[in-house]
C-alpha cells in the first residue's frame, strides 16, 4: 500500500507517559508497557474513536485498561495493528508482548548483535517491540527498566539518566532509566551487554558538566580515542556556530557490529555501526578516521536538529537529515580542508545522487508518497537535502541563516514539525520570501543550468544569459523554474577577479557575487568590464545543478591553472578530464586509435609541480572522474569503452609523467615516522598513495618493489591498504597473493579490517571478478547476516566493479539477484539497498537492459517479497 503526504491526519490519541519494562532472556524477551494516554483535543464529549496501535511480529500476551485485564474479545489484532475501544478520554493502557530478539535478522526493533542486545527503531522499528502509536508526532516521556542476567549483560542502558538499579535472585539484575525530554518512539534505545566503557567529560558553555561515555566490546577499547575527541569538538562547535548546548547530564555512544546503517541519534544513547566509531591508525584508514569524525558529529547534532525539534511525519525526513548533513559537512570543513571536503561531497553527489534523480526511484526532497519508508533514507533526502539547506545559507548569508535557525529552535523546541515550518522560521527572521525556493522540496530531478556569455567591447558589457530546465521524473512531467544561487566571478587574462557592477544596480558587488537565477530564461548584464572575461561559474557548487557553459578545452586549462577559487580550479581540471574521456570513448567506439590530449597531461604536470597547492587538492585533481560518474553523464553508457578508456588514460598519464611523479612521491617522504591524524599528514598520504597507484601502472620493477616494501613496512593502515590496492590491481600474481594472504592472516580477528580486504578484491576490475567474489562468499569471515560484510563484498562488486558486474553474459546480474533473494528473507532493508545498481538498467545497451530486467523480474516473482524489495523492484520495472 502507498502512503501519501496529503493524507496526513493528527493522531486521535496521545501518550503522555511511557513506562517500559524489558525482561531479556536468551530465547525470548517480555516487554511490559504502561501508557498514560488521552484523546487528542477534538470534540469534547463526542464519541471516542477506536484506538489503533501499530505492532508487527509481536505475540500479544495481555492487555489491561485502567488496571482491568481485558479479554480477547475486547480487542482485534492483525499483522500490523491492535485495535481497542477506550471508554474514557484519559486512561492507562498496559500491554505485555513477547518477542524473539535472537531471531531478529532484519536488525530492526530489538535484536542481538553478537552477545549483546540492542535496538534500532527509526523509522518504524518500535512497533516490533510493543504495540504503540509509532509515529513521530506522538511524543512521550519514557521511563525504561531493563532486566537481564548479570553475568552476560553487566551493562544495561536506555535513554536519559539512570535513576535506580538493583539485583534479583538467580543472578539477574535491573536498571531504570528516565528520559525527561518527550520524544517519539523512533528515538527510543536499549542496550544490554558485556561492554567496556571509556569515560570523559565536557563542560558546556553555561558551565554544566556532561559525562561522556563510549561503550565497546572489550577488544576494541583502544580504538575509541578519535570518536571521543570528535564528540567533544562537535559539542563545542555546535555551541559556537549554532548556540546549541547539550541538555542531559550524560551522553553515551555504543558500538555494535551488526547495524543496517551508519548510526542512530537515539536521545542520549547513540547507537553506532562499529565502522563509524572505531579508529586506530593500525586498523583504520584516513578515510575511516574522517568518516568517524563526520558521523559522530552528525548524530550529536541531531540532538537539536532531529530530537529537540523533530519531524511531524516521515515525509519531512529531510527536515532533520538534510539540515543535519549540512551541519556535519560544515563541521568537517571547519576541522579539515574546506575545499577538499567540498570536492569530496560534490564528487559523491554527482556520481550517486544525480543518478538517483535520473532513475526510477527519483523523488523530491520531500516525497509525496512511499510504500516503505526505509527505502527513503536516500541520497536525495540526505545529500540533496543538505544542498538545499546550503543554498538557503548562501542566500541568507551566515548571519541571516543563524538568525533563522535561532528562531526555528526557539519556536519549535519540543515539537514535531514540517519543512514548511523550517522555511517559515528562516523567512520570518530575515523578512525573506522563499515561496518559489520551496520548489526544491517538491520537484524531483536535477536541473540543467545552461549559461552563455557575450562580451561587447564597444559598451564594455558582459552579458550572461541563463536558461534552466529540469527533466521529467516519475509522476512529474512539467517543472517550474527553481531559485538557483549562482556564485561567480569574472576573470581577466591574468586570472584575476574583476570588479562586478550589474546594470541597474547602484552598489558594486565586489569581485565575487551570488546571482539568484529564478526565471526559465534570465539575462544579467555586467557593466564597465574592461576586457573580455572568462567567467568562473557555480563556485563551490553553489547549487545542485548540471552547469553547461561553452568553455573550450583551453578555457578549462586556463581555469584549472589560474582560478583563484580552489574548488573551481579542481572543477575545471575535472571537467577537462571528463571532456577528454568522453571524446576518447567516442573514438574508441569508432574503432580509431586513442591519442591523449596533451593539455590534460600539462595540467597534471603543472599541478604536480606546484608546491603551493594543498597536496590533498593535487590528489583530487589527479584522480580521474570515476566510472560511475562517466556512466551517469552518458546517454547510453558503454561499459567496456568507459572502463577501457579510463584505464588507458591513467596509464598514459603515468607513463608520460613518471619522472615528475617519482620526484613528488619521494619528496613527500617515505611514510615512515610517527603516524599523525592531522589534516596535513592526511593530505600528504593522500597524494603519495595516489601517486603510488599511478606509478604501479608503469609496470616498472622499481614501482613494484616500492609498493611491496610499503605494504610490508607501513606504520599505518592508510599506507598499507593503498599498497594492497595497487598490488591487487596489478598483474603481479605472486606478490598479490602473498600480500592478500599475509593481510588476512594478520587481521582476521578484526572484522572492520577484513571488510576492507573483501571490498578491495570485490572492486578489482581485473577479469574473473565474479568468480573471485563467489569464492570469497565461502570465506569463513564472510556472512550474509552482517550488513558491513554484505556491503564490503556484494555492494563493492555491484557498485564499484563496472567491468565485472556488467559482464556481457549477465552472470554478474544473476549473482547479485541471487543474493538479494536470499537477503530478502534475512534483512529486507539491506536487500533493498543492494538492488540499486540493477534499477539503473536504462543506462545500458539493449542486451544488458534485457538481462538486468530479467533479473528484476525474477526477484519480483520470488516468494515472500518484503515491502522494501517489492517497492524498489516494481517501481524500477514500471
Nearer to ligand ARG, 94 or 261 (CB): 261
* Residue 176 is a binding residue for ligand ARG (CB under 6 A): no
Cα gap 376→361, rounded to integer Å: 9
d(CA 545, CA 606): 29
Query: What contacts 647, CB < 8 A, 6 or more positions away?
Result: 765
| Helix boundaries (H) for 778-845 | 787-790, 796-800, 802-805, 811-826, 828-839
DSSP H/E element including 553: helix 553-562
123 binds, among Zn ion, ligand ARG, none (CB under 5 to 8 A by kind): ligand ARG
From the candidates 122, 299, 321, 620, give the one annotated as an active-site residue.
299
CA–CA gap between residue 521 and residue 451 (Å, rounded) = 10
261 or 707: CB nearest ligand ARG: 261
Q: Which does 424 bind (CB under 5 to 8 A by kind): ligand ARG, Zn ion, none?
A: none
CA distance 672 to 636: 46
Report the 10 Å Cβ neighbour count for 771. 12
Task: Please name the residue that has the C-alpha cell 514535531.
Answer: 416
Buried b (16+ CB within 10 A) or exposed e, 130-157: bbbbbbbbbbbbbbbbbbbbeeebebbb
- Given 3-state DSSP classes, what are the helix, strand and coil percentages for the chain, each rounded to the nearest 5? 45, 20, 35
Compute φ and ψ for 821, nearest 5 degrees. -60, -40
374 binds, among Zn ion, ligand ARG, none (CB under 5 to 8 A by kind): ligand ARG
In the complex with ligand ARG, the residue whose CB is nearer, 136 or 751, is 136
Q: Which does 807 bind (CB under 5 to 8 A by kind): ligand ARG, Zn ion, none?
A: none
Q: Give the one entry of Zn ion, ligand ARG, none that residue 377 binds, where binding means its C-beta sits below a cut-off of 5 to 8 angstroms depending on kind.
A: ligand ARG
389 or 580: CB nearest Zn ion: 389
Q: Does 868 bind ligand ARG (CB under 6 A)?
A: no
**Shortest reach from residue 321's CB to ligand ARG, in Å:** 6
Residue 141's φ and ψ, nearest 5 degrees, are: -85, 125
Give all strands (DSSP E) within 354-410, no chain letters. 369-370
305 or 336, CB closer to ligand ARG? Answer: 305
Residue 321 makes contact with ligand ARG by CB under 6 A: yes
- The dihedral over CA atoms of 728, 732, 734, 739, expressed in degrees to the nearest 10, equals -30
Q: Please report whether residue 261 would count as binding ligand ARG according to CB under 6 A.
A: yes
Minimum separation from the CB atom of position 329 to Zn ion (A): 12
Stretch that binds ligand ARG, among 262-270, 561-569, 572-580, 758-766 (CB under 6 A): 262-270
Residues making contact with Zn ion (CB under 5 A): 321, 324
Question: Number of C-alpha atoms within 13 angstroms, CB side, residue 122?
Answer: 26
374 binds ligand ARG per the rule CB under 6 A: yes
Nearer to ligand ARG, 223 or 375 (CB): 375
Distance, CA of 317 to CA of 308 (rounded, Å): 15
Task: Give the interface segment with ligand ARG, choosing from 43-51, 237-245, 256-264, 461-469 (CB under 6 A).
Answer: 256-264
CB of 231 to ligand ARG, least distance (A): 15
377 interacts with ligand ARG by CB under 6 A: yes
**What's the gap between Cα 455 and its chain centre?**
42
Interatomic CA distance for residues 467 and 451, integer angstroms: 6
Closest CA to 92 of 43, 34, 47, 147: 34
Give the residues across from 516 on adjacent strands. Answer: 485
264 binds, among Zn ion, ligand ARG, none (CB under 5 to 8 A by kind): ligand ARG
Sign of the C-alpha dihedral, residues 747, 753, 758, 763?
negative
Shortest Å, Cβ 300 to ligand ARG: 10
563 binds ligand ARG (CB under 6 A): no
230 binds ligand ARG (CB under 6 A): no
Least CB distance to ligand ARG at residue 307 (A)? 10
- Return the residue of 15, 29, 95, 123 that touches ligand ARG, per CB under 6 A: 123
Q: Which residue is nearest to ligand ARG (CB)?
A: 377
- Give the CA-trace dihedral at 627, 628, 634, 638, to 10 degrees: 60
Q: Least distance from C-beta 777 to ligand ARG, angstroms?
A: 25
Residue 336 interacts with, from Zn ion, ligand ARG, none (CB under 5-8 Å by kind) = none
Of the listed pieces 243-251, 263-271, 391-399, 428-436, which binds ligand ARG according to CB under 6 A?
263-271
Counting residues that bind ligand ARG (by CB under 6 A) gives: 12
What b/e readout covers 84-115, taking b as 16+ CB neighbours within 10 angstroms? bebeeeebbbbbbbebebeebbbbbbbbbbee
Smallest separation (angstroms) from ligand ARG to the CB of 322: 11
Of the CA atoms within 13 Å of residue 592, those in its CB half-sphere come to: 8
Place of cell 549559461: 451
Q: Which one, of 594, 687, 697, 588, lies nearest residue 651 by Cα?
A: 697
Piece of the chain touching ligand ARG by CB under 6 A; list 260-268, 479-487, 579-587, 681-689: 260-268
Q: Which does 482 bind (CB under 5 to 8 A by kind): ligand ARG, Zn ion, none?
A: none
For residues 671 and 718, what is the distance between their CA atoms, to the nearest angstrom? 10
Work out how close the CB of 179 gets to ligand ARG at its nearest, in angstroms, rounded to a whole number.
17
Q: Report if residue 265 touches ligand ARG, rule: CB under 6 A.
A: yes
Residue 122 found at the interface with ligand ARG (CB under 6 A): yes
Sorted by sequence, the CB contacts under 8 Å of residue 623 that are 6+ apart come out as 690
Residue placing its CB nearer to ligand ARG in the complex, 260 or 730: 260
Q: What is the DSSP letter of 213?
A: E
How far apart are CB 830 and ligand ARG at their closest, in Å?
A: 10
CB of 265 to ligand ARG, least distance (A): 5
Q: Is 299 annotated as catalytic?
A: yes
Burial grade of 216 (CB within 10 A; 0-12, 13-18, 19 or more): buried
CB distance 572 to 560 below 8 Å: yes
User: Does a cis peptide bond (omega within 30 degrees of 0) precede residue 123?
Assistant: yes
Q: At what angle do helices 566-589 and 598-609 cross, to 10 degrees?
A: 150
Smaller CB separation from ligand ARG, 123 or 630: 123
What is the closest distance, in whole angstroms, from the C-beta atom of residue 306 to Zn ion in the complex?
7
Applying CB under 6 A, which of residues 137, 299, 855, 871 lies at the interface with ligand ARG? 299
Distance of CA 105 to the CA centre of its chain: 23
Question: What, of Zn ion, ligand ARG, none, does residue 484 touch, CB below 5 to 8 Å by kind?
Answer: none
> Which range touches ligand ARG (CB under 6 A), out of 149-157, 261-269, 336-344, 445-453?
261-269
| Rounded least distance, CB 471 to Zn ion, Å | 28
- Region of 255-263, 421-429, 551-559, 774-782 interacting with ligand ARG (CB under 6 A): 255-263
**Residues in Cβ contact with 551 at an 8 Å cutoff, skipping those fewer than 6 apart:** 559, 575
Selection from Zn ion, ligand ARG, none that 122 binds (CB < 5 to 8 A by kind) is: ligand ARG
95 vs 361, beta carbon nearer ligand ARG: 361
Q: Which of 227, 538 has the CB closer to Zn ion? A: 227
Q: Residue 165: beta bridge partners?
A: 175
Among 31, 212, 255, 263, binds ligand ARG (CB under 6 A): 263
Burial class (CB in 10 A: 0-12, 13-18, 19+), 30: middle
Q: How far is the CB of 311 from ligand ARG (least distance, A)?
A: 10
203 DSSP β-pair partners: 209
Q: Does 189 bind ligand ARG (CB under 6 A)?
A: no
If the CB atoms of residues 296 and 752 are measured against Zn ion, the closer one turns out to be 296
Which of 321, 871 has the CB closer to Zn ion? 321
Nearer to Zn ion, 327 or 736 (CB): 327
Q: Interface residues with ligand ARG (CB under 6 A)?
A: 122-123, 260-261, 263-265, 298-299, 321, 374, 377
Provide the annotated active-site residues.
299
Amino acid at each position: 500500500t502507498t502512503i501519501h503526504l496529503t493524507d496526513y491526519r493528527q493522531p486521535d490519541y496521545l501518550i503522555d507517559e511511557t513506562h517500559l519494562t524489558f525482561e531479556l532472556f536468551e530465547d525470548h524477551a517480555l516487554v511490559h508497557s504502561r501508557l498514560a494516554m488521552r484523546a487528542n483535543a477534538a470534540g469534547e464529549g463526542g464519541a471516542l474513536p477506536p484506538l489503533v496501535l501499530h505492532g508487527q511480529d509481536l505475540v500479544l500476551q495481555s492487555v489491561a485498561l485502567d488496571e482491568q485485564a481485558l479479554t480477547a474479545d475486547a480487542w482485534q489484532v492483525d499483522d500490523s495493528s491492535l485495535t481497542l475501544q477506550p471508554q474514557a478520554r484519559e486512561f492507562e493502557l498496559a500491554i505485555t508482548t513477547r518477542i524473539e530478539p535472537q531471531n531478529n535478522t532484519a536488525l530492526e526493533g530489538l535484536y542481538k548483535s553478537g552477545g549483546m542486545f540492542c535496538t534500532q527503531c527509526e523509522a518504524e522499528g518500535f512497533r516490533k517491540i510493543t504495540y504503540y502509536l509509532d509515529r513521530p508526532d506522538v511524543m512521550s516521556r519514557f521511563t525504561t527498566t531493563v532486566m537481564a542476567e548479570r553475568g552476560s549483560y553487566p551493562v544495561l542502558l536506555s535513554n536519559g539518566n539512570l535513576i535506580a538499579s538493583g539485583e534479583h535472585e538467580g543472578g539477574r539484575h535491573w536498571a531504570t532509566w528516565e528520559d525527561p525530554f518527550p520524544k517519539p518512539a523512533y528515538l527510543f534505545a536499549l542496550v544490554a551487554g558485556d561492554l567496556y566503557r571509556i569515560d570523559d567529560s565536557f563542560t558546556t558553555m553555561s558551565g554544566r558538566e556532561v559525562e561522556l561515555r563510549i561503550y565497546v566490546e572489550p577488544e576494541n577499547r583502544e580504538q575509541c580515542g578519535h570518536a571521543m575527541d570528535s564528540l567533544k569538538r562537535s559539542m563545542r562547535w555546535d555551541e559556537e556556530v549554532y548556540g546549541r548546548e547539550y541538555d542531559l547530564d550524560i551522553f553515551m555512544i555504543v558500538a555494535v557490529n551488526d547495524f543496517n546503517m551508519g548510526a542512530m541519534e537515539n536521545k542520549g544513547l547513540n547507537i553506532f555501526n562499529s565502522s563509524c566509531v572505531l579508529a586506530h591508525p593500525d586498523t583504520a584508514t584516513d578515510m575511516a578516521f574522517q568518516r568517524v569524525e563526520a558521523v559522530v558529529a552528525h548524530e550529536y547534532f541531531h540532538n537539536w536538529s532531529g530530537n529537540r525539534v523533530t519531524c511531524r511525519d516521515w515525509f519531512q525526513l529531510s527536515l532533520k537529515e538534510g539540515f543535519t548533513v549540512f551541519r556535519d559537512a560544515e563541521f568537517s570543513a571547519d576541522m579539515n580542508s574546506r575545499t577538499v571536503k567540498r570536492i569530496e561531497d560534490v564528487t559523491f553527489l554527482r556520481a550517486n545522487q544525480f543518478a538517483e534523480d535520473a532513475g526510477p526511484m527519483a523523488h523530491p526532497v520531500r516525497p509525496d508518497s512511499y510504500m516503505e519508508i526505509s527505502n527513503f533514507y536516500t541520497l536525495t533526502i540526505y545529500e540533496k537535502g543538505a544542498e538545499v539547506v546550503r543554498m538557503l545559507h548562501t542566500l541568507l548569508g551566515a548571519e541571516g541563516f543563524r538568525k533563522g535557525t535561532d528562531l526555528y529552535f526557539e519556536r519549535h523546541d519540543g515539537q514535531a514539525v514540517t519543512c514548511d515550518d523550517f522555511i517559515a522560521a528562516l523567512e520570518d527572521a530575515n523578512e525573506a520570501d522563499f515561496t518559489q525556493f520551496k520548489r526544491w522540496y517538491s520537484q524531483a530531478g536535477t536541473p540543467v543550468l545552461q549559461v552563455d556569455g557575450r562580451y561587447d567591447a564597444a559598451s564594455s558589457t558582459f552579458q550572461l544569459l541563463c536558461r534552466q530546465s529540469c527533466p521529467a521524473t516519475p509522476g512529474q512531467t512539467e517543472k517550474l523554474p527553481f531559485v538557483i544561487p549562482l556564485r561567480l566571478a569574472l576573470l581577466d587574462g591574468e586570472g584575476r577577479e574583476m570588479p562586478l557592477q550589474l546594470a541597474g544596480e547602484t552598489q558594486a558587488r565586489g569581485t565575487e557575487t551570488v546571482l539568484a537565477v529564478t526565471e526559465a530564461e534570465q539575462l544579467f548584464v555586467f557593466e564597465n568590464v574592461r576586457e573580455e572575461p572568462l567567467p568562473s561559474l557555480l563556485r563551490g557548487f553553489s547549487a545542485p545543478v548540471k552547469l553547461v557553459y561553452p568553455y573550450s578545452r583551453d578555457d578549462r586549462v586556463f581555469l584549472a591553472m589560474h582560478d583563484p577559487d580552489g574548488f573551481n580550479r579542481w572543477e575545471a581540471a575535472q571537467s577537462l578530464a571528463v571532456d577528454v574521456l568522453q571524446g576518447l570513448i567516442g573514438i574508441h567506439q569508432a574503432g580509431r586509435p586513442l591519442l591523449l590530449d596533451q593539455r590534460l597531461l600539462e595540467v597534471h604536470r603543472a599541478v604536480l609541480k606546484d608546491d603551493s597547492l594543498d597536496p590533498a587538492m593535487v590528489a583530487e585533481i589527479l584522480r580521474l572522474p570515476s566510472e560511475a560518474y562517466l556512466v551517469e553523464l552518458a546517454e547510453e553508457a558503454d561499459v567496456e569503452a568507459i572502463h577501457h578508456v579510463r584505464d588507458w588514460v591513467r596509464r598514459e598519464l603515468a607513463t608520460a609523467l613518471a619522472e615528475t611523479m617519482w620526484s613528488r612521491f619521494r619528496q613527500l617522504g617515505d611514510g615512515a615516522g610517527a603516524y599523525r591524524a592531522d589534516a596535513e599528514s592526511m593530505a600528504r598520504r593522500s597524494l603519495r598513495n595516489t601517486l603510488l597507484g599511478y606509478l604501479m601502472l608503469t609496470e616498472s620493477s622499481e614501482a613494484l618493489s616500492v609498493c611491496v616494501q610499503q605494504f610490508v613496512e607501513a606504520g599505518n593502515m592508510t599506507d598499507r591498504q593503498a599498497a594492497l590496492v595497487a598490488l591487487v590491481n596489478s598483474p603481479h600474481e605472486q606478490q598479490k597473493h602473498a600480500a592478500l594472504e599475509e593481510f588476512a592472516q594478520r587481521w582476521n580477528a578484526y572484522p572492520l579490517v577484513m571488510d576492507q580486504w573483501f571490498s578491495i578484491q570485490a572492486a578489482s576490475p581485473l577479469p574473473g571478478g565474479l568468480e573471485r567474489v563467489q569464492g570469497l562468499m565461502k570465506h569463513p569471515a564472510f556472512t550474509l547476516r552482517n550488513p558491513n560484510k554484505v556491503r564490503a563484498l556484494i555492494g563493492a562488486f555491484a557498485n564499484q566493479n563496472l567491468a565485472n558486474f556488467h559482464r556481457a553474459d549477465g552472470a554478474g546480474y544473476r549473482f547479485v539477484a541471487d543474493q538479494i533473494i536470499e537477503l530478502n528473507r534475512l534483512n529486507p532493508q539491506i536487500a533493498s539497498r543492494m538492488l540499486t545498481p540493477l534499477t539503473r538498467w536504462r543506462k545500458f545497451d539493449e542486451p544488458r537492459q534485457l538481462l538486468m530486467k530479467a533479473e528484476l523480474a525474477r526477484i519480483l516473482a520470488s516468494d515472500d517479497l518484503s515491502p522494501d524489495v517489492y517497492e524498489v523492484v516494481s517501481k524500477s520495472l514500471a
